Structure 1
Protein backbone atom coordinates (compact mmCIF):
# COMPACT_ATOMS: atom_id res chain seq x y z
CA UNK A 1 0.00 0.00 0.00
CA UNK A 2 1.40 3.38 -0.99
CA UNK A 3 1.01 6.22 1.46
CA UNK A 4 1.75 9.90 1.05
CA UNK A 5 2.18 12.14 4.07
CA UNK A 6 1.03 15.72 4.45
CA UNK A 7 2.25 17.69 7.41
CA UNK A 8 0.31 20.44 9.11
CA UNK A 9 2.29 22.32 11.74
CA UNK A 10 0.83 23.67 14.98
CA UNK A 11 3.49 25.81 16.62
CA UNK A 12 3.45 27.78 19.88
CA UNK A 13 6.51 29.80 20.85
CA UNK A 14 7.85 29.48 24.41
CA UNK A 15 10.29 31.88 26.00
CA UNK A 16 13.48 32.64 24.11
CA UNK A 17 16.42 32.81 26.48
CA UNK A 18 19.51 34.89 26.00
CA UNK A 19 21.55 31.83 24.97
CA UNK A 20 19.21 29.24 23.43
CA UNK A 21 15.66 28.34 22.57
CA UNK A 22 14.36 25.15 24.20
CA UNK A 23 11.39 23.74 22.34
CA UNK A 24 9.78 20.34 22.93
CA UNK A 25 8.20 18.86 19.84
CA UNK A 26 5.32 16.39 19.85
CA UNK A 27 4.55 14.42 16.72
CA UNK A 28 1.33 12.51 16.24
CA UNK A 29 0.26 10.49 13.23
CA UNK A 30 -3.37 10.80 12.25
CA UNK A 31 -5.19 9.33 9.31
CA UNK A 32 -8.09 7.76 7.53
CA UNK A 33 -7.52 4.02 7.20
CA UNK A 34 -9.46 2.10 4.49
CA UNK A 35 -10.18 -1.59 5.10
CA UNK A 36 -8.52 -2.65 1.84
CA UNK A 37 -5.29 -2.08 -0.09
CA UNK A 38 -7.10 -1.86 -3.44
CA UNK A 39 -10.64 -0.94 -4.46
CA UNK A 40 -12.23 -3.34 -6.97
CA UNK A 41 -15.52 -2.42 -8.60
CA UNK A 42 -17.15 -5.37 -10.34
CA UNK A 43 -19.27 -4.41 -13.33
CA UNK A 44 -21.70 -7.22 -12.42
CA UNK A 45 -22.41 -5.49 -9.09
CA UNK A 46 -22.28 -1.92 -10.39
CA UNK A 47 -20.60 -0.64 -7.25
CA UNK A 48 -18.26 -1.40 -4.36
CA UNK A 49 -18.10 -0.18 -0.77
CA UNK A 50 -15.07 0.53 1.43
CA UNK A 51 -15.09 1.16 5.18
CA UNK A 52 -12.73 3.97 6.24
CA UNK A 53 -11.80 4.42 9.91
CA UNK A 54 -10.68 7.69 11.48
CA UNK A 55 -7.66 6.64 13.55
CA UNK A 56 -7.23 10.17 14.91
CA UNK A 57 -8.27 11.08 18.45
CA UNK A 58 -10.53 13.87 17.21
CA UNK A 59 -13.03 14.73 14.51
CA UNK A 60 -11.70 14.89 10.95
CA UNK A 61 -13.05 15.42 7.45
CA UNK A 62 -12.66 12.51 5.07
CA UNK A 63 -11.96 13.71 1.53
CA UNK A 64 -12.11 11.03 -1.19
CA UNK A 65 -11.02 11.75 -4.75
CA UNK A 66 -10.59 9.61 -7.86
CA UNK A 67 -7.61 10.29 -10.11
CA UNK A 68 -7.15 9.15 -13.70
CA UNK A 69 -3.93 7.52 -14.77
CA UNK A 70 -2.20 9.18 -17.74
CA UNK A 71 -3.21 6.36 -20.12
CA UNK A 72 -6.93 6.40 -19.27
CA UNK A 73 -8.77 9.69 -18.76
CA UNK A 74 -12.32 8.39 -19.26
CA UNK A 75 -14.70 9.09 -16.38
CA UNK A 76 -16.01 5.65 -15.43
CA UNK A 77 -16.76 5.77 -11.72
CA UNK A 78 -17.81 8.27 -9.08
CA UNK A 79 -17.56 8.26 -5.29
CA UNK A 80 -20.15 9.05 -2.63
CA UNK A 81 -19.80 10.79 -0.29
CA UNK A 82 -16.73 12.66 -1.54
CA UNK A 83 -16.57 14.59 1.75
CA UNK A 84 -17.74 13.42 5.17
CA UNK A 85 -17.29 14.28 8.86
CA UNK A 86 -15.92 11.28 10.73
CA UNK A 87 -15.71 11.25 14.52
CA UNK A 88 -12.65 9.83 16.28
CA UNK A 89 -12.34 6.03 16.05
CA UNK A 90 -15.51 5.72 13.98
CA UNK A 91 -16.02 4.38 10.47
CA UNK A 92 -17.44 5.91 7.31
CA UNK A 93 -18.77 3.79 4.43
CA UNK A 94 -17.65 5.06 1.01
CA UNK A 95 -19.33 3.80 -2.17
CA UNK A 96 -17.80 3.66 -5.64
CA UNK A 97 -20.44 3.55 -8.36
CA UNK A 98 -19.75 2.52 -11.93
CA UNK A 99 -21.09 4.81 -14.67
CA UNK A 100 -20.39 3.47 -18.14
CA UNK A 101 -22.39 3.72 -21.35
CA UNK A 102 -20.71 0.67 -22.89
CA UNK A 103 -19.79 -2.67 -21.30
CA UNK A 104 -16.23 -3.00 -20.05
CA UNK A 105 -14.04 -5.16 -22.29
CA UNK A 106 -10.96 -5.23 -20.06
CA UNK A 107 -9.99 -4.26 -16.57
CA UNK A 108 -9.51 -0.50 -16.17
CA UNK A 109 -7.21 1.21 -13.70
CA UNK A 110 -7.72 4.43 -11.72
CA UNK A 111 -6.38 5.75 -8.39
CA UNK A 112 -8.35 6.71 -5.30
CA UNK A 113 -7.09 9.03 -2.56
CA UNK A 114 -8.37 8.91 1.03
CA UNK A 115 -7.31 11.99 2.98
CA UNK A 116 -8.13 13.04 6.52
CA UNK A 117 -8.36 16.76 7.26
CA UNK A 118 -8.06 17.42 11.03
CA UNK A 119 -10.78 19.58 12.58
CA UNK A 120 -10.85 21.41 15.89
CA UNK A 121 -7.33 20.61 17.05
CA UNK A 122 -6.78 21.66 20.69
CA UNK A 123 -4.15 24.30 21.31
CA UNK A 124 -0.76 22.88 22.28
CA UNK A 125 0.50 23.24 25.81
CA UNK A 126 2.65 26.22 26.65
CA UNK A 127 6.28 25.59 25.83
CA UNK A 128 5.48 22.87 23.31
CA UNK A 129 4.99 22.64 19.59
CA UNK A 130 2.93 19.97 17.89
CA UNK A 131 3.23 18.68 14.35
CA UNK A 132 0.03 17.03 13.10
CA UNK A 133 0.71 14.45 10.41
CA UNK A 134 -2.18 13.33 8.24
CA UNK A 135 -1.90 10.20 6.15
CA UNK A 136 -2.96 10.58 2.54
CA UNK A 137 -3.53 7.08 1.19
CA UNK A 138 -3.34 6.61 -2.57
CA UNK A 139 -4.70 3.21 -3.64
CA UNK A 140 -5.36 1.48 -6.97
CA UNK A 141 -8.97 1.39 -8.18
CA UNK A 142 -9.67 -1.49 -10.59
CA UNK A 143 -12.85 -1.82 -12.65
CA UNK A 144 -13.53 -5.48 -13.44
CA UNK A 145 -15.68 -6.45 -16.49
CA UNK A 146 -18.79 -8.56 -16.13
CA UNK A 147 -18.17 -12.19 -17.06
CA UNK A 148 -14.37 -11.95 -16.83
CA UNK A 149 -13.02 -14.76 -14.68
CA UNK A 150 -10.62 -13.84 -11.86
CA UNK A 151 -6.95 -14.38 -12.68
CA UNK A 152 -4.59 -14.61 -9.72
CA UNK A 153 -1.42 -14.78 -11.87
CA UNK A 154 -1.92 -12.53 -14.91
CA UNK A 155 1.84 -11.82 -15.12
CA UNK A 156 2.43 -15.32 -16.47
CA UNK A 157 0.82 -14.27 -19.77
CA UNK A 158 3.03 -11.24 -20.43
CA UNK A 159 4.99 -11.54 -23.69
CA UNK A 160 8.67 -10.53 -23.59
CA UNK A 161 11.04 -9.96 -26.51
CA UNK A 162 14.46 -8.42 -27.06
CA UNK A 163 15.48 -6.63 -30.23
CA UNK A 164 17.93 -3.89 -31.15
CA UNK A 165 18.90 -3.08 -27.58
CA UNK A 166 15.25 -2.80 -26.53
CA UNK A 167 13.37 -5.04 -24.12
CA UNK A 168 9.70 -5.24 -25.05
CA UNK A 169 6.81 -6.41 -22.92
CA UNK A 170 3.28 -6.83 -24.26
CA UNK A 171 0.09 -7.53 -22.33
CA UNK A 172 -2.41 -9.26 -24.59
CA UNK A 173 -4.67 -10.16 -21.66
CA UNK A 174 -7.73 -8.26 -20.37
CA UNK A 175 -6.08 -7.94 -16.94
CA UNK A 176 -4.05 -5.17 -15.33
CA UNK A 177 -0.64 -6.63 -14.39
CA UNK A 178 1.19 -5.15 -11.42
CA UNK A 179 4.93 -5.66 -11.00
CA UNK A 180 8.13 -4.04 -9.78
CA UNK A 181 9.93 -1.77 -12.24
CA UNK A 182 13.30 -3.52 -12.11
CA UNK A 183 13.71 -6.46 -14.51
CA UNK A 184 16.72 -8.80 -14.65
CA UNK A 185 17.94 -10.34 -17.90
CA UNK A 186 19.14 -13.92 -17.63
CA UNK A 187 21.68 -15.42 -17.88
CA UNK A 188 23.60 -12.22 -18.66
CA UNK A 189 22.58 -10.66 -15.31
CA UNK A 190 21.85 -7.35 -17.00
CA UNK A 191 19.06 -5.10 -15.78
CA UNK A 192 16.33 -3.01 -17.35
CA UNK A 193 13.92 -0.57 -15.74
CA UNK A 194 10.23 -0.33 -16.62
CA UNK A 195 8.71 3.18 -16.55
CA UNK A 196 5.90 2.24 -14.13
CA UNK A 197 4.58 -0.50 -11.86
CA UNK A 198 1.78 -1.78 -14.08
CA UNK A 199 1.10 -2.96 -17.61
CA UNK A 200 -2.39 -2.25 -18.89
CA UNK A 201 -4.46 -4.61 -21.06
CA UNK A 202 -3.34 -4.32 -24.69
CA UNK A 203 -0.32 -2.20 -23.75
CA UNK A 204 3.14 -2.53 -25.27
CA UNK A 205 6.16 -1.12 -23.41
CA UNK A 206 9.68 -0.85 -24.79
CA UNK A 207 12.73 0.08 -22.68
CA UNK A 208 16.48 0.15 -23.17
CA UNK A 209 18.31 -3.04 -22.29
CA UNK A 210 22.04 -3.78 -21.90
CA UNK A 211 23.83 -5.65 -24.64
CA UNK A 212 24.34 -9.38 -24.14
CA UNK A 213 22.61 -12.67 -24.67
CA UNK A 214 19.42 -13.11 -22.68
CA UNK A 215 16.88 -15.90 -22.85
CA UNK A 216 14.69 -15.04 -19.82
CA UNK A 217 13.53 -12.13 -17.73
CA UNK A 218 13.18 -12.26 -13.96
CA UNK A 219 10.82 -9.83 -12.24
CA UNK A 220 8.82 -9.31 -9.05
CA UNK A 221 5.07 -9.59 -9.64
CA UNK A 222 2.38 -8.33 -7.28
CA UNK A 223 -1.10 -9.62 -6.67
CA UNK A 224 -4.15 -7.54 -7.47
CA UNK A 225 -4.04 -6.39 -3.83
CA UNK A 226 -0.44 -5.23 -4.19
CA UNK A 227 1.26 -7.99 -2.21
CA UNK A 228 4.62 -9.13 -3.57
CA UNK A 229 4.93 -12.77 -4.56
CA UNK A 230 8.06 -14.84 -5.39
CA UNK A 231 10.06 -13.72 -8.42
CA UNK A 232 8.88 -15.04 -11.74
CA UNK A 233 10.99 -15.99 -14.77
CA UNK A 234 9.49 -15.69 -18.23
CA UNK A 235 11.06 -16.65 -21.57
CA UNK A 236 12.22 -14.00 -24.02
CA UNK A 237 10.76 -14.89 -27.38
CA UNK A 238 12.36 -14.04 -30.71
Structure 2
Protein backbone atom coordinates (compact mmCIF):
# COMPACT_ATOMS: atom_id res chain seq x y z
CA UNK A 1 0.00 0.00 0.00
CA UNK A 2 1.35 3.43 -0.99
CA UNK A 3 1.36 6.13 1.67
CA UNK A 4 0.19 9.64 0.82
CA UNK A 5 3.00 12.14 0.36
CA UNK A 6 2.20 14.00 3.59
CA UNK A 7 2.40 10.75 5.59
CA UNK A 8 5.77 9.93 4.07
CA UNK A 9 7.00 13.41 4.96
CA UNK A 10 5.74 12.98 8.51
CA UNK A 11 7.49 9.64 8.89
CA UNK A 12 10.77 11.14 7.72
CA UNK A 13 10.35 14.05 10.12
CA UNK A 14 9.80 11.68 13.02
CA UNK A 15 12.93 9.73 12.14
CA UNK A 16 14.97 12.90 12.02
CA UNK A 17 13.50 14.17 15.26
CA UNK A 18 14.47 10.97 17.08
CA UNK A 19 18.17 11.82 17.01
CA UNK A 20 20.27 14.91 17.57
CA UNK A 21 22.74 15.81 14.82
CA UNK A 22 26.02 17.55 15.57
CA UNK A 23 28.61 18.70 13.04
CA UNK A 24 32.29 18.82 13.85
CA UNK A 25 33.93 22.20 13.69
CA UNK A 26 37.51 22.02 12.42
CA UNK A 27 38.20 25.55 11.20
CA UNK A 28 41.33 26.45 9.17
CA UNK A 29 42.87 29.85 9.87
CA UNK A 30 43.07 30.72 6.16
CA UNK A 31 41.23 29.69 2.98
CA UNK A 32 44.41 28.69 1.12
CA UNK A 33 47.73 27.06 2.00
CA UNK A 34 50.88 28.71 0.64
CA UNK A 35 54.13 26.74 0.38
CA UNK A 36 57.21 28.83 -0.35
CA UNK A 37 60.07 26.96 -2.03
CA UNK A 38 62.42 29.54 -0.49
CA UNK A 39 61.48 28.16 2.93
CA UNK A 40 60.98 24.57 1.79
CA UNK A 41 57.62 24.35 3.52
CA UNK A 42 54.32 25.97 4.46
CA UNK A 43 51.95 25.57 7.40
CA UNK A 44 48.40 26.21 8.56
CA UNK A 45 46.63 26.04 11.94
CA UNK A 46 43.36 24.09 12.23
CA UNK A 47 41.18 24.82 15.28
CA UNK A 48 38.70 22.45 16.91
CA UNK A 49 35.69 24.63 17.77
CA UNK A 50 33.65 21.73 19.14
CA UNK A 51 33.20 20.71 22.77
CA UNK A 52 34.75 17.26 22.30
CA UNK A 53 38.10 15.96 21.02
CA UNK A 54 38.37 15.24 17.29
CA UNK A 55 40.73 13.19 15.17
CA UNK A 56 42.04 15.51 12.45
CA UNK A 57 43.18 13.77 9.26
CA UNK A 58 44.98 15.58 6.44
CA UNK A 59 45.06 14.27 2.87
CA UNK A 60 46.78 15.77 -0.16
CA UNK A 61 45.12 15.59 -3.59
CA UNK A 62 46.49 16.25 -7.06
CA UNK A 63 44.50 18.17 -9.62
CA UNK A 64 43.91 16.31 -12.93
CA UNK A 65 46.32 18.57 -14.82
CA UNK A 66 49.24 18.06 -12.39
CA UNK A 67 49.76 14.64 -10.83
CA UNK A 68 53.39 15.05 -9.73
CA UNK A 69 53.92 14.40 -6.02
CA UNK A 70 55.55 17.53 -4.65
CA UNK A 71 54.61 17.65 -0.96
CA UNK A 72 54.71 15.66 2.26
CA UNK A 73 52.24 16.54 5.01
CA UNK A 74 52.83 16.14 8.73
CA UNK A 75 51.12 15.07 10.86
CA UNK A 76 48.74 13.10 8.61
CA UNK A 77 46.53 12.47 11.67
CA UNK A 78 46.34 14.09 15.11
CA UNK A 79 43.98 14.28 18.08
CA UNK A 80 42.83 17.85 18.70
CA UNK A 81 41.28 18.76 22.04
CA UNK A 82 38.27 21.11 22.30
CA UNK A 83 39.24 24.73 21.68
CA UNK A 84 42.80 23.79 20.70
CA UNK A 85 44.58 24.12 17.36
CA UNK A 86 46.79 21.75 15.41
CA UNK A 87 49.54 23.05 13.17
CA UNK A 88 49.86 21.10 9.93
CA UNK A 89 53.07 21.44 7.91
CA UNK A 90 53.56 20.93 4.17
CA UNK A 91 57.15 20.11 3.23
CA UNK A 92 58.38 20.40 -0.34
CA UNK A 93 59.72 17.06 -1.58
CA UNK A 94 60.57 18.01 -5.18
CA UNK A 95 64.26 17.63 -6.03
CA UNK A 96 64.01 19.79 -9.16
CA UNK A 97 63.64 23.58 -8.85
CA UNK A 98 60.14 24.77 -9.67
CA UNK A 99 59.75 27.15 -12.60
CA UNK A 100 56.11 28.17 -12.05
CA UNK A 101 53.55 28.11 -9.28
CA UNK A 102 51.88 24.72 -8.81
CA UNK A 103 48.39 23.94 -7.55
CA UNK A 104 47.33 21.07 -5.28
CA UNK A 105 44.38 20.43 -2.94
CA UNK A 106 44.28 19.44 0.73
CA UNK A 107 41.39 17.87 2.62
CA UNK A 108 41.08 18.38 6.37
CA UNK A 109 38.61 16.01 7.98
CA UNK A 110 37.51 16.05 11.61
CA UNK A 111 36.39 12.64 12.87
CA UNK A 112 34.44 12.84 16.16
CA UNK A 113 34.51 10.10 18.79
CA UNK A 114 31.76 7.49 18.61
CA UNK A 115 29.01 7.86 21.19
CA UNK A 116 27.88 4.51 22.55
CA UNK A 117 24.42 4.08 24.02
CA UNK A 118 23.46 7.61 23.00
CA UNK A 119 20.76 8.64 20.55
CA UNK A 120 23.11 11.06 18.83
CA UNK A 121 24.72 11.42 15.41
CA UNK A 122 27.96 13.37 14.99
CA UNK A 123 28.74 14.25 11.41
CA UNK A 124 32.17 14.42 9.84
CA UNK A 125 32.86 17.73 8.10
CA UNK A 126 35.51 18.17 5.41
CA UNK A 127 37.43 21.29 4.46
CA UNK A 128 38.85 21.19 0.94
CA UNK A 129 41.41 23.97 0.36
CA UNK A 130 43.76 24.92 -2.48
CA UNK A 131 47.52 24.58 -1.92
CA UNK A 132 49.74 26.89 -3.97
CA UNK A 133 53.44 26.05 -4.20
CA UNK A 134 55.56 29.07 -5.09
CA UNK A 135 58.98 28.77 -6.77
CA UNK A 136 62.07 30.20 -5.12
CA UNK A 137 62.74 33.78 -6.13
CA UNK A 138 59.36 34.38 -7.78
CA UNK A 139 58.10 37.88 -7.02
CA UNK A 140 54.70 38.14 -5.39
CA UNK A 141 51.84 39.36 -7.57
CA UNK A 142 48.77 40.96 -6.00
CA UNK A 143 46.80 40.72 -9.26
CA UNK A 144 48.00 37.79 -11.42
CA UNK A 145 44.68 37.78 -13.31
CA UNK A 146 45.73 40.99 -15.06
CA UNK A 147 48.20 38.90 -17.10
CA UNK A 148 45.50 36.65 -18.59
CA UNK A 149 44.88 36.98 -22.31
CA UNK A 150 41.27 36.72 -23.49
CA UNK A 151 40.16 36.18 -27.10
CA UNK A 152 36.69 36.00 -28.65
CA UNK A 153 36.59 34.34 -32.07
CA UNK A 154 33.10 33.93 -33.51
CA UNK A 155 31.30 31.86 -30.84
CA UNK A 156 34.46 30.73 -29.05
CA UNK A 157 35.93 32.44 -25.98
CA UNK A 158 39.42 31.38 -24.88
CA UNK A 159 41.77 32.45 -22.11
CA UNK A 160 45.52 31.96 -21.94
CA UNK A 161 47.80 32.34 -18.94
CA UNK A 162 51.33 33.24 -20.13
CA UNK A 163 52.49 34.05 -16.59
CA UNK A 164 54.19 31.80 -13.99
CA UNK A 165 51.28 32.35 -11.58
CA UNK A 166 48.25 30.20 -10.79
CA UNK A 167 45.18 32.38 -11.34
CA UNK A 168 42.09 31.49 -9.32
CA UNK A 169 38.69 32.90 -10.30
CA UNK A 170 34.98 32.15 -10.41
CA UNK A 171 33.79 29.87 -13.20
CA UNK A 172 31.23 32.39 -14.52
CA UNK A 173 32.66 34.92 -17.00
CA UNK A 174 30.67 37.71 -18.66
CA UNK A 175 31.43 39.36 -21.98
CA UNK A 176 30.65 43.05 -22.31
CA UNK A 177 28.64 44.90 -23.50
CA UNK A 178 26.53 42.00 -24.85
CA UNK A 179 26.23 40.51 -21.30
CA UNK A 180 26.65 36.92 -22.48
CA UNK A 181 27.66 34.46 -19.75
CA UNK A 182 30.38 31.85 -20.24
CA UNK A 183 31.63 29.02 -18.02
CA UNK A 184 35.20 28.00 -17.29
CA UNK A 185 35.83 24.25 -16.91
CA UNK A 186 37.26 24.85 -13.41
CA UNK A 187 38.11 27.65 -10.99
CA UNK A 188 41.74 28.15 -11.98
CA UNK A 189 43.99 28.83 -14.95
CA UNK A 190 47.42 27.23 -14.61
CA UNK A 191 50.66 28.77 -15.90
CA UNK A 192 50.92 28.25 -19.67
CA UNK A 193 47.38 26.86 -19.88
CA UNK A 194 44.80 27.79 -22.52
CA UNK A 195 41.12 27.11 -21.78
CA UNK A 196 38.02 27.29 -23.94
CA UNK A 197 34.86 28.53 -22.24
CA UNK A 198 31.34 27.30 -22.90
CA UNK A 199 28.54 29.73 -23.69
CA UNK A 200 25.61 29.50 -21.28
CA UNK A 201 22.22 29.40 -22.97
CA UNK A 202 21.24 29.34 -26.63
CA UNK A 203 21.60 33.04 -27.39
CA UNK A 204 24.32 33.86 -29.89
CA UNK A 205 26.85 36.29 -28.37
CA UNK A 206 27.02 39.79 -29.77
CA UNK A 207 29.95 42.09 -30.35
CA UNK A 208 32.07 42.40 -27.22
CA UNK A 209 35.17 44.30 -26.18
CA UNK A 210 35.72 43.12 -22.60
CA UNK A 211 35.29 40.21 -20.21
CA UNK A 212 34.28 40.55 -16.56
CA UNK A 213 35.74 38.03 -14.11
CA UNK A 214 35.60 37.43 -10.34
CA UNK A 215 39.18 36.69 -9.25
CA UNK A 216 40.75 35.76 -5.94
CA UNK A 217 44.25 36.64 -4.78
CA UNK A 218 46.93 34.03 -4.24
CA UNK A 219 46.45 34.43 -0.49
CA UNK A 220 42.71 33.79 -0.62
CA UNK A 221 41.27 37.29 -0.49
CA UNK A 222 38.32 38.02 -2.76
CA UNK A 223 38.42 41.22 -4.77
CA UNK A 224 35.99 43.24 -6.84
CA UNK A 225 35.17 42.04 -10.32
CA UNK A 226 37.78 42.83 -12.95
CA UNK A 227 37.19 43.86 -16.56
CA UNK A 228 39.83 42.72 -19.06
CA UNK A 229 40.12 43.68 -22.71
CA UNK A 230 39.52 41.14 -25.45
CA UNK A 231 42.38 40.72 -27.89
CA UNK A 232 41.45 40.88 -31.59
CA spacing shift, 1:22–1:47, aligned 2, 3 Å: closer
Aligned residue among 38, 52, 71 for 2:65: 71
In 2, the alpha carbon distance for the partners of 1:46 and 1:34 equals: 21
List gaps (5 residues or longer) in structure 1.
1-19
CA deviations 1:55-93 (Å, max 9, x no partner) are 222222111000000000000001011011222222222
* Pairing 1:73-112 to 2, within 5 Å after superposition: 73-112=67-106
Alignment partner of 1:208 is 2:202: no
User: What is aligned with 1:17?
Assistant: none
3-state SS in 1 of match to 2:196: strand
List gaps (5 residues or longer) in structure 2.
1-13
Compare the two structures and name the one with the higher strand fraction. Answer: 1
Would you say the 8 A contact 1:40–1:141 is kept in 2? yes
In 2, the alpha carbon distance for the partners of 1:82 and 1:22 equals: 34
In 2, the alpha carbon distance for the partners of 1:22 and 1:64 equals: 31
Q: TM-score, normalised by structure 2?
A: 0.87
Higher mean C-alpha displacement, 83-92 vs 134-143: 83-92
* Pairing 1:99-138 to 2, within 5 Å after superposition: 99-121=93-115, 123-124=117-118, 129-138=119-128
3-state SS in 2 of match to 1:119: coil
In 2, the alpha carbon distance for the partners of 1:24 and 1:78 equals: 43
Aligned residue among 211, 214, 224 for 2:218: 224
Higher mean C-alpha displacement, 108-117 vs 200-209: 200-209
Aligned length: 215
In 2, the alpha carbon distance for the partners of 1:136 and 1:236 equals: 39
State the shift of 1:24 in Å: 4.3
Alignment partner of 1:187 is 2:177: yes
CA spacing shift, 1:200–1:170, aligned 2, 3 Å: same
User: What is aligned with 1:139?
Assistant: 129
In 1, the alpha carbon distance for the partners of 2:18 and 2:35 equals: 46
Identify which of structures 1 and 2 has the higher relative contact order when contacts are C-alpha pairs closer than 8 Å and 6+ apart: 1
Higher mean C-alpha displacement, 36-45 vs 112-121: 112-121
Over the aligned positions, Cα root-mean-square deviation in angstroms equals 1.8
In 1, the alpha carbon distance for the partners of 2:73 and 2:177 equals: 48
3-state SS in 1 of match to 2:56: strand
Would you say the 8 A contact 2:173–2:182 is kept in 1? yes
3-state SS in 1 of match to 2:73: strand
Compare the two structures and name the one with the higher helix fraction. Answer: 2
Q: TM-score, normalised by structure 1?
A: 0.85
State the shift of 1:164 in Å: 3.2
Higher mean C-alpha displacement, 23-32 vs 225-234: 23-32
